[in-house]
Amino acid sequence: MTRQEYRLQNVGEAQSKEETATLKMLQKQKARRCPHCSLAVIKDGGCPSMNCIHCNRGFWWESTELVRATLYKKTRSKEKVQEPPPWYQNLPFAAENAADQTVRIARIVFVDHNPTAGGARTPQWFDAPDAIPENHPLF
């Protein structure tokens, strides 16, 4: 018979002084039990999202409920939630009108992706109006 089995069968027996002192200390520090493995967890600050060091399960401190991560909810096409804009719409020139944005990207592509006389690529980022010749295929 293991200790745990013995303790489950003899719940009513008196606790040792060490167990009583430990339980009092846990009560003073407002410890809570992990909802999965029942390990006592003490919160010392930070957000209410906790991870148990024993079972590595996440739980919410205030309600002691296990956290189940749901990144995407399956919805019908009519019920789809509007997603945030893609990362490339947050670039510094995203607020410009479409024509200015196209010219700026064309300058970057033209200057950045044309080999120099020696054959090496030298990226250059500038907005000089004469950076792209008038007869360039992008215009």
The pLDDT-based confidence of 114 (bands split at 50, 70, 90) is low
Q: Which helix or strand (DSSP H or E) is residue 107 part of? A: helix 98-112
Residue range 41-80, pLDDT digits in tens: 888 888 888 888 888 888 877 776 776 654 555 555 555 5
DSSP SS3 for 53: coil
pTM over 0.75: no
Q: Which helix or strand (DSSP H or E) is residue 28 part of? A: helix 17-28
21-30, 31-40, 45-54, 81-90: range with lowest mean pLDDT: 81-90
